[in-house]
Structure 1
Amino acid sequence: MALTTLSFDNPEALTSAFAEDLVSILKTGIRTRGRASLVVSGGRTPLALFKQLSETNLEWDKVDITLADERWVDEDHADSNTSLVKNNLIKNKASAARFVELKSEPSDANEGVNAAEAALASMSQPFDALILGMGEDGHTASLFPCSEQINDGLDMSSGRTCIAVQPTTAPHQRISLTLPALLNSRNIFLHLTGEKKKHVLLDALDNATEAQKPITAVVNRAPVTLMWAP
């Protein structure tokens, strides 16, 4: 296990430092490989980070952005991560970035897995940076411990980069990057705020199996930087 914790006095200080680190990573990717790739997560926590990144000078036309997971809902749905990213990150100076969508037309996420995998294959990999969140049940991306698909999502030998997921404790069918796809990243960040989330993480690492708290599967297998503020 290789968890490095960077603690900040408040979310604003975290956002400022995190944005600076990400821009540096993306610039390195562009300089050394011609393009850079960024995988983000949805939710409320990264919104300030997205806004700051969107206003940062960068060769955004050489950056590919995708999601670690998506709810299988239309873009005009309030729970759409695609909408959240487009409205908060891929705007202002970052409007030139290429967004690689996981959601496609089929009504069932199982029928969209192949299209999502093909879309991901168009991105520079390993991903330059991956930003994960974590739920209070220890799920990350849409690798939910409550789902029947959790073992498939954690399977390191499946060869799949995406999986359709039906959580039983959260709404909506999902599509998620698998554990091996998430680990195929040069820099992995876990972005958390609040004492409760930090306690969930530390308790999971000490006391839970990977299937019980999937965030541990990431931390157990790769260097992860925890970006945390109260």
Structure 2
Amino acid sequence: MLNQLAQSLRAAGGTAFEYIVAKILNSFLLEDDIVVTRAREASLSRLIHNQSNLYQIMDFTRVPVKRRCDQSQLQDYPDLDLFALVRPSQFGELWRLLAIINCKVSFHARHTEAAFWGLLIRLSSNIPFVVVTEDRDIYTPKASELGRSCEDSTETRRILESFSDRVYLVKRYTNENDPKLDKDISIKQNNLKQGILSSVVFDDVNIPYHTQYCHSVRPIDDLIDDLRHWKAEIPK
């Protein structure tokens, strides 16, 4: 009973974290026709009214699973959290999957799960697969699950760096309606208006035990620019 309760609380916390990540990204990317939403049919159907287009996107992320018992191959839908989608700019165009965003408040040995799906998706498609984490242990306080730095790293960090395109860090917010989150969004928007393009607002390196950034581990602020960059690389 207690295990079920703990599992339910973790699931609720994970869902809240997905909404936080989506709100941060959508606050800056909607004007670029990039929409971040949960990778669930119900959420996708509220955006994509063309059912054929909807299932095309979902089918594209399915991965081949071979069954030894009858030597058949199935297509399974991975355990995904968020999709970054490109919204059609003209009538007749289709929605397009831009990136897959795996959200983890913390890992606690579940980094192999993210790495597993990341590997399968990267082998079967050219879609970027990224991980966003709060790295919650640093608030306990404990050591970061990613280690102190790239040089002084943990197995978790090394595996995620190997099997995802990037890992992004975001500081703790209670939920998507947290006044601190709304304040940070306003700060970031004002910074951009003033031409301050590289400010880090949605992460806090001053938190004790916060890991150091490197090429593969970045603040979530960088994901905003990365998604724009990946969209620009789509063949016309």
TM-score, structure 2 normalization = 0.31
Answer 1 or 2: higher relative contact order, Cα 8 Å, separation at least 6: 1
TM-score, structure 1 normalization = 0.32
Greater helix fraction, Structure 1 or Structure 2 = 2
